[in-house]
Structure 1
Amino acid sequence: MKSRRMFWQIAEKIEALIKSGTYPPGSRLPPERELAETFDVSRPTIRESIIALEVKHLVEARTSSGVYVLEPPKNDSESEGSDISAFELTQARALVEGEAAALAALSISEGELATLKTTLEVMESGVGAEKADREFHLVISRATRNNAIVLAVQKFWTLRDTLPQIQSAYANVCTQSDKDRLNEHKAIYTALKNNDAQAARTAMHAHFNRLINALFELSEKQALEEVRKKTSQTRDLYSLRHLVG
């Protein structure tokens, strides 16, 4: 993965200070010059970092006043899970489903293997691939003979299918890698068929590792685009072209 841009690294450091309470909600961030000295970067880098934080709704730049830390959004019972990111869900799935695959490899039935093979054929056809993908993972969870694991995997898929931020992220990466997804599922199936717990765990982890890396690349691309847009708007606002043109 490409190294992250400097302004984004600084933005993440400031975000960490905000979350730690160093800069609490309502407080004003130190002046641009002071931040540049603190992080040993140029003032333009600090400006871009602040823009990145504005895009994430963590701070607000107020004309002739400074940059202020915003209050975090409040959660309520109707927004359960709304703060879960695609990264968090994918990591959780990797941890749980990796072990589920290892456990399933020791107890999976011939009937369940046949069902998995059918889902692979559907994925390869390209028609109904998403539904087949879901069934593939649910069959493996049931093959563990552990109802708690089944419930956990079902909940993961509910979050995947109902939270807008996760729907959007997954849609953008899954549709671009159908071949990779199919090959990864085939590797999982082969390990299960061979009753090889370690290979099943490794294959499942490889599947989610590729997915989370794709999510990171997409996230960084979108963040850079938003920062460029915000920078362009700021440049237009303070441009002196009308004075020197």
Structure 2
Amino acid sequence: MNVSIDTGRLTGGRLYQRVAEQLAAVINGGEYPPGSRLPAERKLAERFEVSRPTVREAIIALELAGFVEVRGGSGVYVCDGNKDTLASSTLDVGPFDILEARILFEGEAAELAAKKITDEEMAEVRQALSDMVTENEGEPICEKADENFHMLIARATKNDAIISVCSHLWALRNSSPVSARILEKVRQAGSKPRIEEHHAILEALETRNGPAARAAMREHLTRVIQQLLDATEAEAVEEARRKVMHSRERFNLID
């Protein structure tokens, strides 16, 4: 699965941050007055010459800062009482950048772990997967078992630098307001950690197959990117589904 993450020409600072700042300036300049709807995501991506995931992160940042309101199945609307600037605390590393880094580092970590993991560590990874199954059945989903699964693999590399990088990437994931908001949308859409993908990683580790472990980890995290993209579009998809159902009901009445 190929997912494009970063194709923008804007430079200086985080890409989605630059887009958010320029969109905020455009809003404050009056191009989009309070109550108006922003152009479609595709149009904004073309205007700023960036990818749609980058635009999506920028919109989430503007939503958190109070510039816009995202209305399910309707669009993104400018809020009354425009703000002057974006708060620096709102602008953090976005989830797509974090996942792109995780694909690179955790994929290599899985391959190295397959060569070095002990039987005791293997048992811990199996238990983490079992905990993930249980965690998926609960509400709300906290994903602690998911994080533990991935960090156990990182620690199995016996490489302190790799462990530190993976730990930092998870800390960014958990602390970034933009990342947290998108993950919230994922949970609202009913998405949960995919057990079968984690099981493929586990099987590769159990057979001490480094290339297979690397491939399984990269495939899993690439699918997580798609999961985030799908979840942030879920509201529009649901609205389209409602319209189709309404049309079917009308047809049935005529028939």
Alignment TM-score, normalising by the size of structure 2: 0.57
Q: Distance in 1 between matches of 2:180 and 2:41?
A: 25
The CA deviation at 1:74 is: 7.1
Q: Distance in 2 between matches of 1:204 and 1:109?
A: 19
The CA deviation at 1:224 is: 9.2
Task: Return the match for 2:114 from 102, 105, 113.
Answer: 105
**Is the CA contact (8 Å cut-off) linking 1:105 and 1:200 kept in structure 2?**
yes
**AA matched with 1:13:** E
The residue correspondences of 1:25-36 to structure 2 (distance < 5 A) are none
Q: Distance in 1 between matches of 2:201 and 2:152?
A: 12
**Is the CA contact (8 Å cut-off) linking 1:123 and 1:129 kept in structure 2?**
no
Partner of residue 200, structure 2: 187
The share of aligned pairs that are identical, in percent, is: 35
The CA deviation at 1:71 is: 8.8
Q: Distance in 2 between matches of 1:224 and 1:10?
A: 18
In the alignment, does 2:22 pair up with 1:9? no
**Is the CA contact (8 Å cut-off) linking 2:113 and 2:154 kept in structure 1?**
yes
**Is the CA contact (8 Å cut-off) linking 2:92 and 2:178 kept in structure 1?**
no
The runs of 5 or more residues in structure 1 that have no matched partner are: 18-50, 61-69, 226-245
- SS at the partner of 2:116? coil
Q: Distance in 1 between matches of 2:85 and 2:142?
A: 38
The CA deviation at 1:7 is: 4.2
Partner of residue 230, structure 2: 217
Task: Return the match for 1:90 from 62, 80, 99.
Answer: 99
Taking a change above 3 Å as real, the CA distance of residues 110 and 197 of structure 1, as seen in their structure-2 partners, is same
The CA deviation at 1:170 is: 2.2
The CA deviation at 1:219 is: 3.0
Partner of residue 11, structure 2: none
1:2-26 deviation line (CA, Å, top 9, x unaligned)? xxxx943232121239xxxxxxxxx
**Is the CA contact (8 Å cut-off) linking 1:105 and 1:197 kept in structure 2?**
yes
**Is the CA contact (8 Å cut-off) linking 1:173 and 1:211 kept in structure 2?**
no
Q: Distance in 2 between matches of 1:209 and 1:145?
A: 25
Q: Distance in 2 between matches of 1:99 and 1:135?
A: 18
Partner of residue 214, structure 2: 201
1:119-177 deviation line (CA, Å, top 9, x unaligned)? 11111223586221111111111111111110011111111222222123224325734
**AA matched with 2:92:** D
**Is the CA contact (8 Å cut-off) linking 1:85 and 1:165 kept in structure 2?**
yes
The runs of 5 or more residues in structure 2 that have no matched partner are: 2-38, 51-74, 239-255
**Is the CA contact (8 Å cut-off) linking 2:92 and 2:176 kept in structure 1?**
no
Partner of residue 228, structure 1: none
Larger radius of gyration: 1
Alignment TM-score, normalising by the size of structure 1: 0.59
Count of aligned residue pairs for this structure pair:
170
**Is the CA contact (8 Å cut-off) linking 2:94 and 2:178 kept in structure 1?**
yes
